[in-house]
Amino acid sequence: MADKESRRRTPRPPAPAGGISIRAASKKYKIANTTIQGWVKKGYVHKICEDEWVTYIDEERLKVLVDAYKASPGRGSWAIRKLIEQENNN
């Protein structure tokens, strides 16, 4: 029988400074994974680093988007677009 120790997963290294994984951010801020992934894909939130399984993103920038998203219930995507437009105009 194979040794159980060899089948255990090695622990992941901690998140880089100022970074958070998309999964952890989803749980912490109660926003869907797909929403956060969409923000990353559109360039609203920058990737800090990624490996084969985990993408770490800028948590400070994410917090700004989450605040705007939650401030406008039911119109979150509209609020995000408005925020991005304001940032681009400044």
Tell me the domain boundaries of the chain.
Answer: 16-89
Contacts of 11 (CB under 8 A, 6+ apart): none
Three-state DSSP class for 22? helix
pLDDT tens string 10-30? 777 777 788 999 999 999 999
Q: How confident is the model at residue 6 (pLDDT cuts 50, 70, 90)?
A: low
**What's the pTM?**
0.79
pLDDT tens string 25-80? 999 999 999 999 999 999 999 999 888 788 999 999 999 999 999 988 777 888 89
Give me the pLDDT at residue 4, please. Answer: 63
Nearest alpha-carbon partner for 12 in 3, 2, 1, 21: 21
